[in-house]
Structure 1
Amino acid sequence: MTQEQPPRRSSAALSAADLDHLRAELAEGRTPTVWFTAKAVGMEAGRSAKVLGFTEPAEGDFIQVRPTGSQDELSFSPAEMTLTKPPRKPKAPAKPAAPVVAEPWIPPAPPEPVSKPRADAAGPTESAGKRPARAGSGARRVAKPSEVTVTLSSTADGEWTVDVVTGKKRTVRSAPVPASHVAQAAKVLHPDVAEAIQAVLDAAREQQLARVEQLRAELEAAQRALEELPS
């Protein structure tokens, strides 16, 4: 015997029996699924939704649902939904990959022959095939060096500074120089220059020694005055 299959439902709108079935499902704590028909406003036909409840009176858009993929609760009429699940849309066949056509290999062109310059007729004082280079051709131009003036200056306290003028531009202005460096440079300069610098260094040294002696005497006097004061 051949078992009879239950008749398939068409994608018709929800009937009164369908509404009773949905109410029974909700009463048992289940959330039945319905699908939108082509009459559903703002919804794609075939999209599913979960039934959440019914409003009273049962007129107009009284079926509350939540469309799949949405968190909104919307109301629809029975004509906009069905219990029939729509068939799956067939997948579009994959496009075959385009065949890869290898480009033909073309050998590189042979290099062009380098033509040799024709030798000029040799003159009475020139060898054949050679021409004397003109004066100045290919010669590298060398920049003319600028004049540099270096000036050492000293103060009455024995402090030294240096100024440098390159051409007409002052590149270093009153840069301090230690007296020890000046003394070392004086040794390799002209004797008259070294003698003049040494005289200034000696005078500055005498001045600083005198100042040290004076400060030392003042310190000793202050120390004696401190010792005479009662503690």
Structure 2
Amino acid sequence: MSPLSSDELRAIREELSAGTTPTVWFTSSAVGVQEGRSGKVIALGEPAEGDFIQVRPAGSKDVLSFSTAEITQVKPPRKKSTPEPAKPAAKTQASKPSQDTAPKPAEKPASKPAEQPGKPRTHTAAKPADTAAARRKPRQTKQQIGGAVVTLTADQDGQWSVEVASTKRKLVKPTQVPANAVAQAAKLLHDDVAAAVEPLIEAAREQHRARVEELRAELEAAQAALEELDE
């Protein structure tokens, strides 16, 4: 079985962010778990930790830590059952035993030596095998947020707001942010994002320019009326 590739690991992260638990199978490198057994990925830690993939094996309540070499997303083929050998046909007539093959009288079993009185028997208890499965202890998974969605919204007045939500709850309620901060963030993210946001920013600029001209005209009219009153 081939271990997890970087693309498969990236796909597993996306499925966990969507709230699903991807199915994987254990390779021959897996310690303490039978090869070909399936399991569910519960969470992903940091690759620097080594065994950073948290998996619950099928039929178990424990969550164990594995590396990319110990699990795969390639489902193993089913093992073909070996047919039982044909039994020989029973003889129709029992052959008579000859004199040479006649059963011999049973020999008396050799007598066992009598146990010495007062000497107790010793029994050696079998020690449990020190297997890798016994050495592996379940690892407590860290509580992680399964991804988040950041939403930027522009209203008709050119005001921007940001909202952050996970798959389970809202992390940040809609909060107003300056338009220039949105423009700077869009440039840092990607050129396509900046190109998509720029028309909205420009429309907001035009709207504010028109409002400034309108207020300037009102101010000039009010100033003229005041001067007439002062004459």
User: Structures share a fold, TM > 0.5?
Assistant: no
Task: Compare relative contact order (CA 8 Å, sep 6+) and give the higher one, 1 or 2.
Answer: 2
